[in-house]
Structure 1
Amino acid sequence: MALPVLAATLSTSIVFFPVTLLFGVSRFLFSALGLAVVISLFASYFVAMTVVPLFCARFLKGSHGAPAHGEAPGAEPVLRQSFGARFNAWFNDRFQAMLGRYQQVLDRLLIRPKATLAGIVAFFLATLALAPLLGVSFFPRTDPGQFTIMVKAPAGMRLERTEDQIRQVEELVRRVVDKEDLQLIVSNIGSVADLPAIYTTNSSENTAFVQVSLTEDHKTGSYPYMERIGQALKAEMPQLSTYLVANGLVDAVMNQGMPAPIDVQVSSNDLPTADRVTKELAAKIRAMPGVRGVFTPQDIDLPALSVNVDRMRAAQVGLTQKDVVDTLISALTSDVMIAPSYWIDPKSGNNYFLTVQYPLNQIKSLTDLKNLVLRGPEVTRPTTLDSVATVTQTFSPNEVDHYQIRRIMDIYVSPLGEDLGRLSKAIEEAVGKMKLPESVVVSLRGSVQSMRASFQSFAVGLVLAVALVYLILVAQFRSFVDPFIILLAIPTGIAGVILMLLVSGTTINVMSLMGVVMLSGIVVSNSILIVEFANHLRSEGMPVQQAVSLACRVRLRPVLMTSLATIIGMVPMAMKLGTGSEAYAPLAQAIIGGLTVSVVLTVFVVPAAYLLIYRRRDSGPYNTAGTQPGHDAQGATA
């Protein structure tokens, strides 16, 4: 068993080498996992080759229900057998019966190895045809226990009216969320032209966000509550534009800091044109199936006042444009943004802002603003604003965002479930059908951008992992054919992964892809046991069909034992037990599904392929060493 155990250990360990080629979030997620698995595998190999044989020599009395050494077969036991002995006898009887049925099926399939391989290949291709039915996401969705409601009231709404609207939103949340699940509601309303503005996503008096926190032991998850609240807001408060987003740290990292997994950015320095394209595209996205929410934070119709300073008249009274603007800012807010000054308390050392501000509510109308007295270092007599500037009513953007120098307008899109692939593809198709102006560029950011980059690196990693496993097996078996037979277990494993993800309703994500990478190293262990023992039997002079049939029969027990041990160990993770377990459940589900189907098909596809390849080479006479010409004692091709 030394060769198959070493080959299985190396093939399972080498698949983690491509993890070093990953970048971004995926690399940080799986580097520690890969290192832990590789270290534990080699520790297990050391124990299996040293400690386990000692324990077997000391404690093993019989094998598979056979009588112990020195005990006559069929001898009546002196003492009544224990429950464990009776259970072992019962299990061995059932296993031998199952083994006999397996042998009958295998012998029938080996009569037509080509038909057997064709049937399994057809099954694999059929499962590949089902792959498009799977959803695609970057990372499994987890329940963070808190979410945010972004609210945008009609443009120009005063702060007091916005506060009334948010009060109604809070009442709606308390009505929808169970009292036992609701822990805290915090609302942030409006924005000020001051330093605190950098700590809020609000851009004007008609914008706000409401943060909802659930209790630690909440019975209903965040996403069901978000769905209920979103539907209630559309039905009861249609005048508000709302967008619900989960507040989990994982979501923030995966979205690259964006508030949405799909951020459609419309880039153009011509804001009116960008606004027109944004509204048209947002309407199309809302009509798409699978969309939970669409939100555009930017508006260009916010009521504003345009102050046009006549520089010639201002200069005649000793004012500059900066003097006029500084006086306006100090009168409407404070001078902390234009003339920041600090005072340090000599006793405590604390820093304090020193600000200047006009008395509250001194300017209540447009007439008061026009009669504002301007001050400056060169002003010798009182001068009002309307004497040096014209003030007109206009519209302006509530915020102006930039990405890579160009101005952008965002469309935040959240899907109903985890599937980002279909929705992002539908958005790109809708953009492709639009006739965009030459100055407008539309791109997708957020999780979609990271997802596609990670999937490309995983594809390269999977191909490299299979290639490395093949090279390791070539070195171990000293044959280019045997590793190919062994690797036939990988397609059957991939078929099992697809079926398992479909049954469990899980998407293809970085976790399930990592499960596929790990599976490619695990499933070959079963093939190694069969191929290695068949080579050994052939080296002793046994015909190829008899050798591969006996190898499958003898190795079926260790194949089932190792596979069941892995599957049972993955069951708690696949069942999503514990907080945050949703993140790693797809990895376990992929391994369980792939390994289950692979075990069932490997014990048929490997012997069929082995017989098909080696029965023509088995016609020559065996040499005196018990091997065919061109083969060594292990049955490997020279």
Structure 2
Amino acid sequence: MTLGGLALAVGMLVDDATVEVENIHRNRTMGKPLTIAILDGAQQIAVPAIVATLSICIVFFPVVLLYGPAKFLFTPLALGVVLAMLASYLLSRTLVPTLARMLMAGERHVPGSERGHESTPDESTGSVEPAPGQSLLGRLSAGFDRARDRAFESFRQAYGRALARVLAHRAFTLGIGLVGLALTGGLLLVVGTDLFPSVDAGMMKLHFRAPSGTRIEETDRLAAQVEDRIRQVIPAEEVDTINDMIGVPIFYNLAFVQTENIGGMDSEILISLKPRHHPTSDYQRTLRKTLSAEFPGSQFWFQPADIVTQVLNFGLAAPIDVQVEGNDLDRSYVFARRLRDGMRQVPGVADVRIAQVLDYPTLKVDVDRVRAAELGLSQRDVASTMLISLSSSALVSPSFFLNPANNVNYTVAVQVPIRQIDSVRSLLATPITPPAAATLLQPASLRIPTALPEAPAETLGNVATVRPAVSPDEINHYTVQRVLDVEGSVDGRDLGSIIRDIRQKIAALGTLPPGMRINVRGQNQVMEESFRSLLEGLVLSIVLVYFLMV
């Protein structure tokens, strides 16, 4: 944003120096010596220049009133402009007069450009004449300057005549100005609102979600087919790299890997294009239609890939995030589906989906507590045994091996091989550890002498039943409450108009049940907060500029 501020101010930075140099030339054409012309020229524009510079700086004062993410986004831009303008004024007071004294010493000005001075047709502009004995390049430069000055003088005289005619018809001119102002105000109803212009960084991040419960091996196979289809859509000479990340990272890497994957059925495909490529948005529209038709049952959407869009989303997975907040997840899901269907009808909204997966295939284990108690087992024994069998003993009873060769600790975990649990029948055959079996993990010297003989191990099928069901794969909370996120992206339309239509869809849902709320988050939330604070600062800036000029 600092570079953006410098790019914004690059045209204004030269104004102070340009005005001073022109004023020095004007004083030279009045017949003043060079040093006197430089001193007088600098003194005459000192106050107007500082007023103009401070007026520009005051325009960026509303940035001070920003808060939240927008403050950190736009403050560097404002500081870049303000500091550059102040530096420009300082250099125009110090460096420009010094360079003018050094570089203009060899120039000879012909008086006559000011009113009250006689001039010949060739000298009417007071242009710089070549000094005697000057080189060919110097004479050519002086001739070009004379021609340029004559053209500019003709333009200035034509502008003066037009201005005189306009001032002679003040009522008509004022009416035209008011009509233009009214037409400009009407553009507010036509021109949309966006927080930041779209950026084509040549990167796409495609999120591919296979049907719920798909094993990671099957997801890997499907992701390879999707990647092949992408290479068919995008020409090979435009593709740089394609990287896939399938499943969820291991627990100690989860905090360091930015991913929206929530299970083995998820895959993120990062596509990087070469510098000379067709518009990225065109490829995205083509891939949405192609992949959805060729992979039924799977979901596809594009996530923010470039750093600019990710920063503008401020940590959210999509620029449009409508949160359905409520205590009853099933009831919230009904409204979330209705809202999702309504958002798909809004022009300009793409990749509409519900972020959470609530239909993940699950096996429910119902323990018969009475029978388990008769066999000397409890609910906790069954749960601990299943946890060790399916997720290893690293969480329940962590054990470590110290390698004497390199003094490195290694985790020792016990887990049933996944290939041995390939059906419900094999799951029911899992032996349940008796309550006192934990002592088997202790050294023999710690055995309790009075320990009674233990009951033989029972299988899961003797104390429990297993039934298929579905359950949420993840549960998200925002400000303590459970939420469902209906997300979407922007395609070919301004964000403000899209949010206005989405709010109409929210209103069409009718009265919400008690305890349920629907909040619109994403870039629009930050945009509205920024525009509101900037509007307040704009009024204050107008007042400050008025006080400065008065």
Q: Which residue is equivalent to 1:168?
A: 225
**Separation in 1 of the partners of 2:415 and 2:253?**
17
2:547 is the counterpart of 1:443? no
Matching residue within 209, 213, 216 for 2:272: 213
Asked whether 1:416 is paired with 2:491, we answer yes
- Give matches, 1:33-182, under 5 Å: 33-53=77-97, 56=100, 58-59=104-105, 61-62=108-109, 66=113, 73=120, 82-182=139-239
User: Given the alignment, which residue of 368, 377, 383 partners 2:458?
Assistant: 383
Q: Return the alpha-carbon distance in structure 2 between the equivalents of residues 63 and 38 of structure 1.
A: 39
What residue in structure 1 maps to residue 381 of structure 2? 323
1:10 CA drift (Å): 1.8
SS of aligned partner of 1:431: helix
- 2:507 matched to which residue of 1? 432
> C-alpha separation between the residues in 1 aligned to 2:244 and 2:186?
49
TM-score by length of 2: 0.77
> For 1:391-432, what per-residue CA distance to the aligned partner results, in whole angstroms no more than 9, with x for missing partners?
222121222222122211111201113621111111111001
Query: Counterparts of 1:396-407 in structure 2 under 5 Å?
Result: 396-407=471-482
What amino acid does structure 1 have at the position aligned with 2:489?
S
Task: Show the 5 A alignment for 1:186-335.
Answer: 186-191=243-248, 200-215=259-274, 217-335=275-393
Query: Are positions 1:455 and 2:514 aligned together?
Result: no
SS at match of 2:109: coil
8 A Cα contact 2:211 2:265, kept in partner = yes
Q: Which runs of 5 or more structure 2 residues have no equivalent in the other structure?
A: 1-44, 124-128, 437-453
The answer to which of 405-414 and 184-193 deviates more is: 184-193
What's the offset of the Cα at 1:63? 7.3
Distance in 2 (alpha carbons) for counterparts of 1:440 and 1:32: 39
- Report 1 or 2 for greater relative contact order, CA contacts < 8 Å, sequence distance ≥ 6: 1
CA displacement at 1:214 relative to structure 2: 2.9
Q: In structure 2, what is the Cα distance between the partners aligned to 1:372 and 1:24?
A: 54
Cα distance, 1:294 vs structure 2? 1.1
Q: Which residue of 1 aligns with 2:6?
A: none
Taking a change above 3 Å as real, the CA distance of residues 63 and 386 of structure 1, as seen in their structure-2 partners, is: farther
Distance 1:33 1:404 in 2: 32
Measure how far apart 1:194 and its partner are.
Answer: 6.0
Cα deviation 1:147-178 (Å, max 9, x = unaligned) = 22112223344444433322221111111222
1:8 is matched with 52
Q: Which residue of 1 aligns with 2:27?
A: none
Give 1:624-635 correspondences, 5 Å limit.
Answer: none
The structure whose Rg is larger is 2
Which letter does structure 1 place at the counterpart of 2:69? V
Deviation at 1:345, TM superposition (A): 5.2
State the alpha-carbon separation in 2 of the partners of residues 369 and 192 from structure 1. 26
CA contact (8 A) 1:151 1:243 kept: yes
What is the match of residue 360 of structure 1? 418
Check whether the contact 1:155–1:303 (CA below 8 A) recurs between aligned residues.
yes
Paired residue secondary structure (1:154) = coil
Choose which of 57, 71, 80 in structure 2 pairs with 1:27: 71
Check 1:322–1:201 CA distance in 2 against 1; reply closer, same or farther (3 A cut): farther
| Kept in 1: contact 2:51–2:549 (CA 8 A) | yes
Distance 1:256 1:343, change over 3 A: farther
Q: Is the 8 A contact 1:194 1:337 kept in 2?
A: no
Alpha-carbon distance in 1 for matches of 2:465, 2:50: 86
| Contact preservation (8 Å) 1:144, 1:248 | yes
Change (3 A) 1:172 1:7: same
1:528-565 Cα offsets, whole Å, 9 max, x none, are xxxxxxxxxxxxxxxxxxxxxxxxxxxxxxxxxxxxxx
Preserved CA contact (<8 Å) 2:207 2:301 = yes
1:422-475 alpha-carbon deviations (Å, 9 max, x no partner): 11111111001112333432111221222211222222222222222112112x
Question: How far apart, CA to CA, are the structure 2 residues paired with 1:274 and 1:5?
Answer: 61
Q: Secondary structure at the match of 1:180?
A: helix
The SS at the match of 2:346 is coil
- Where does the alignment leave 5 or more consecutive residues of structure 1 unmatched? 475-638
* Secondary structure in structure 2 of the residue aligned to 1:331: helix
Q: Deviations over 1:273-329 (max 9, x none)?
A: 222211211111112211222122323222211112233333333333222112112
Is contact 1:136–1:418 with CA below 8 Å preserved after alignment? no
The one-letter code of the counterpart of 1:18 is: P
Q: C-alpha separation between the residues in 1 aligned to 2:516 and 2:537?
A: 36
**Aligned counterparts, 1:488-637, within 5 A:** none
Q: Say whether the 8 Å CA contact 2:248–2:263 is kept in structure 1.
A: yes
Cα separation, partners in 2 of 1:75 and 1:243, compared to 1, 3 Å: closer
Shift of 1:357: 0.5
Structure 1 pair 462–176 and aligned structure 2 pair: CA distance change class (3 A): same
Q: Give matches, 1:342-357, under 5 Å.
A: 342=400, 350=408, 352-357=410-415
Amino acid at match of 1:155: S
Distance 2:268 2:525 in 1: 26
Structure 1 Cα separation of the partners of residues 544 and 378 of structure 2: 73
Deviations 1:159-201 (A, max 9, x none): 4443332222111111122223323323233459966666553
Aligned sequence identity (%) = 34
CA deviation after TM superposition for structure 1 residue 260, in Å:
0.6
Q: Residue 409 and residue 121 in structure 1: after superposition, are their counterparts in 2 closer, same or farther (change >3 A)?
A: same
Superposed CA offset, 1:553-586 (max 9, x none): xxxxxxxxxxxxxxxxxxxxxxxxxxxxxxxxxx
8 Å CA contact retained: 1:7, 1:473: yes
SS at match of 1:265: strand
Three-state SS of the structure 2 residue aligned to 1:414 is strand
Shift of 1:221: 4.5
- Stretch deviating more after TM superposition (117-126 or 336-345): 336-345
**1: CA distance, partners of 2:374 / 2:232:** 63
> How many matched pairs?
471
Q: State the distance in 2 between where 1:40 and 1:419 align.
A: 32
